[in-house]
A and B are shown apart, each in its own frame.
Chain A
Amino acid sequence: MNCAECEVLLHALLDGELDAGHARDVETHVAQCPGCTEKLRAFRAMRDAMARANLKEAAPASLRSRIEAALPSPAPRGTATLKSARPSRRMLFGGFAAGAVLSAAATASLFLTVVRNDQEQSIAGEVVSAHIRSLQAGHLMDVETSDQHTVKPWFDGKVDVAPPVVDLTAQGFTLLGGRLDYIGGEPVASVVYRRRKHVINLFVAQRLGREHAFVTAHTVQGYNVRHWSDQGLDFWAVSDLDGEELGEFVQKVSAAVHPGRPS
């Protein structure tokens, strides 16, 4: 490999777009070439600075309202939360609960003993909607801390489960905090993690019936969802992470929650 080829592939390496073979070729070349070593260092520094700079710009609230106004109006009973640009916390919860009640006909009891496929799908849809709303409303966390011993007690008295909160920082998943959310009208705990810039919502609720320990995978509107249950709890992990990394997350969580369980 010469330096000109390497220069193009350096970026693909930084962006995680190279297959193992090419990555090895680039790394071999870089190891022998001070010029390319320096380039790799400089581009990495620049990329990190750009990531830190948070170049994404928030759309003005007026734009959001204009777009909302141009959409066909929602059913009159519908979710008021989605109409306002920045719903207050009360509106978010109130609206969400109201919206969730509507669809509760389909999911009257959220976590059923025998989850039929279509029902599982429908809950997965609700879970994804909750995930999206958590990102949209600027209200990802009610309790914001990376300390698992702060997050866990915070849920006391707010939900009828004590969700396991595990610190997975060492495994590459940063604990951001916790949030009270509603799915199908039921309060559920959400423990929020992040990998790189990808948010993961881990919803935890009481499981009413028999456990199904195997993990089911769904993709809804481009989001990956993993569902499993353990020790009387139902877990739903949602993220825009790719399936493999979300799978890794599930594995880490369930290993931490239940060390004895084979992963």
Chain B
Amino acid sequence: MAGYADGEHDKARRFRDAALPYLDDVFTLARYLMRNSSDAEDAAQECYLRALRHFDSYRGPAMKPWLLTILRNVCNAEFARRGRQEVSNDCSAEKGAEDTPLWQETQATPEASLLRQRDDDTIRRLVAALPQQFREVIVLREVNELSYQEIAQVAGVPVGTVMSRLARARSMLRSAWSVAEGAAS
């Protein structure tokens, strides 16, 4: 077999080992940016294809923010192509009922499970309802667990902007949350 082909295989293996463990991270961010599962799948797939193409020039340090940066570019390119369908001031809640249940975990009792499921759905719905620039910093921080520096890199803004967006995002969530809690009880 040609050395070139072996090199390609080796590269594919290294890429797999390095990048695939972050597929859930990439997919989750894609879900929150694209707002539906099939667009998110397309974006995540495109992200991995682009990442593979650029893997030769990848020099670290961290794979996760690198992939998420690519993903964000893919999503933004898609929004641009659609002529900004993404409404950045959409504060109305999404129809959470259409979402398939996305996590399972064993629960002590069915009641606890239901309660917790409800809370989780509420949180997910509130995050999904944030305007994009706030939604993305929240997801990058709380779900993808990036540092401020990494979020700044992914979102292409200074760390100070990350801090103020995060503060704003959390205070929006906090107000929305009290409303939701009030309605629930």
Contact = CB atoms under 8 A, between A and B. Distances in A.
Interface string A98-138: 00000000000000000000000000000011001001100
A57 to B, nearest CB: 5
Interface string B13-28: 1011110110111111
B20 to A, nearest CB: 7
A221 interface: yes
Interface in A62-99: 62-64, 66-68, 70-75, 78-79, 82
Chain A interface extent, by class: 35 or more
Given A55-B143, A58-B102, A71-B15, A63 B21 contact: no
B174 A43 contact: yes
B163 A8 contact: yes
A57 B41 CA distance: 12
A43 B102 CA distance: 25
Contact of B44 (A42, A63, A132, A222): A63
Contacts of B120: 53-55
B148 interface: yes
B26 A8 contact: no
B167 A58 contact: no
Given A53-B123, A222-B63, A73 B27 contact: no
A57 B123 CA distance: 13
Interface in A1-56: 7-12, 15, 17, 42-43, 46-47, 49-56
B177 A46 contact: yes
Interface residues of B, number: 56
A197 interface: yes
Nearest to A60: B41
B180 to A, nearest CB: 12
A47 B48 contact: no
A199 to B, nearest CB: 11
A47 B64 CA distance: 22
A54 B105 contact: yes
B9 A55 contact: no
A8 B24 contact: no
A71 B142 contact: no
B12 A74 contact: yes
Nearest to A64: B23
A55 B127 contact: yes
A3 to B, nearest CB: 12
Contacts of B26: 59
A42 B124 CA distance: 18
B123 A56 contact: no
Interface of A: 7-12, 15, 17, 42-43, 46-47, 49-60, 62-64, 66-68, 70-75, 78-79, 82, 128-129, 132, 135-136, 197, 221-222
Question: What 7 pairs between A and B have smallest CB-CB spacing?
Answer: A59-B27, A53-B120, A72-B12, A57-B102, A59-B23, A53-B123, A75-B9
12 contacts: A11-B163, A54-B103, A56-B25, A57-B28, A57-B102, A57-B103, A58-B24, A63-B27, A64-B20, A72-B11, A75-B13, A82-B17
Given A55-B120, A55-B143, A67-B48, 20 more contacts: A9-B163, A12-B163, A15-B141, A42-B174, A53-B124, A54-B120, A56-B24, A59-B23, A59-B41, A59-B44, A67-B45, A67-B49, A72-B9, A74-B9, A75-B9, A128-B17, A132-B17, A132-B21, A222-B61, A222-B62
